[in-house]
Chains A and B, each alone.
Chain A
Amino acid sequence: MTTLSAHGISARLPSGFEGRIFQRSAVGGEVARPVAHFATFPLPADVADFGAGAVNLMAPQDIFSVLFEYGPESLGTALFARNGMPRQLTGQDFSTITLRRGIPSQSGTQWFFTESGRPFTLYVVLGNHAQRASLVPRVNALLGNVDVAQVGSAVP
């Protein structure tokens, strides 16, 4: 397995996946946070945080996943009360209306949680909802190999 690590996020990518972990340049007074993209198709150079510019390129058998970190002010809020990233999703977790950008036949799921003291959202898009039975196990194979280190720990 190929291991991709940056900004305290580490992923051992299952076969067929590629990924990118980055942190955008801060604009104005904002504080940029790490973002991780994982996909089973070639990721374009410029993809928006939640996949605009990429999800429109997905084939029915493709998967796109985002791990997006929020600021420490989100810690302890009700939205991020869940402890730990979901690692075992089911087909029922996906819905055709849970999409940032509604593309016919695609479906998605989004989770907010706190992992290693860091608030995140996980957003996953399936290329075709009808193929969720075969796609969700691949998603779980990816999620089972994603690690988040505590801020300030030795993991890059």
Chain B
Amino acid sequence: MLALICVVTVVVVLLAVLVAGLLRSHADILRALHDLGAGVGDPTGGSVHDHASHDHAAQPVPVPLHMGPPLPGERNASSAPDLVGVSPEGDAVAIGVTGVDRLTLLAFLSSGCATCAEFWASLQDPVSSGFPPDLRVVAVTKGPEFEIPSEVARRAGGRIAVVMSTESWGDYEVPGSPFFVLIDGRAGRRIGEGVANRADQIADLVRRAWDEERPPGQSGSTSRAAAVGLDGKEREARNDQELQSVGILPGDPSLYPERHEDLFATTSSPSPMNASGPDSTKDQTGTQGR
């Protein structure tokens, strides 16, 4: 019995010490919070402690809390830091997006996201996907610590410039993939950013920005086909289609003018010969040839 009483007494003493320690620790925490201006109690009341030496700290101070990606109003949405990272092959890579005379589209993608798959495919040939010519497209994935480089290389197919850089995702405050940022290299700032589900949505937005940023005649090509993003085979196919729509088929004599005037018949002085003579077919060619 005596032993039991002794054991209980010891236990009670130990618990008392423990509780006292906890209370003291709690008091220290409250004191520290109060010194930071986040104390509990009446916020308008005076301090019960002597804070003469901490008057400057006694005022409430805002404590920033970040949960999830920053809201639009909190984003630094105009800066355009250069990209630094590695390629899927492991090369150290840096790409300058400012101080250059071009628009750059950054496509923040990942190798695993299902929505990104279409963009990996579409960006293999940006012009065919409706993007303006001379637009530079760079795919930015997170670094090798979050991605599998060989998988990124497979997605890129050797045709898309890729920078693997977790730092760039932070620099551009990317909320998730896919995410797109359009940069005007001349102005040195972002001129657009956002998400999309399809490549044509991005291409349309980029084209509008392109048209706004580039006055007529500064695109490097003044042709209509180039202006709508057609070149190479697409341009040839479109020309063929337009000629066929007006009845000019392969081998048509109008495609082989014999005289210089045949090419510009519509702008030459009207004459009975041009209007109804044997060269009238060639006059048509001049019109279609534009």
Contact = CB atoms under 8 A, between A and B. Distances in A.
B100 interface: yes
Given A15-B96, A18-B95, A21-B91, A46 B158 contact: yes
Nearest to A15: B99
Contacts of A4: 84, 92-94
B92 A20 contact: yes
A142 B96 CA distance: 13
Given A13-B96, A16-B96, 6 more contacts: A15-B96, A18-B93, A18-B95, A20-B92, A21-B91, A22-B92
B201 to A, nearest CB: 24
A46 B156 CA distance: 13
A42 B136 contact: yes
- Chain A: number of interface residues, binned into ranges: 20 to 34
Nearest to B96: A18
Summarize B's interface: helix, strand, loop or mixed. Answer: loop
A21 B92 CA distance: 5
B161 interface: yes
A40 B100 contact: yes
A111 interface: no
B285 interface: no
A93 B257 CA distance: 51
Contacts of A3: 84, 94
A17 B96 CA distance: 6
A45 B92 contact: no
A6 B84 contact: no
A107 interface: no
A46 B92 CA distance: 14
B99 A19 contact: no
Given A3-B84, A42-B161, A45-B161, A20 B96 contact: no
Interface in A26-81: 40, 42, 45-46
B183 to A, nearest CB: 13
Contacts of A45: 87, 158-159, 161
A20 B100 contact: no
Interface in B15-68: none
A72 B153 CA distance: 33
B79 to A, nearest CB: 13
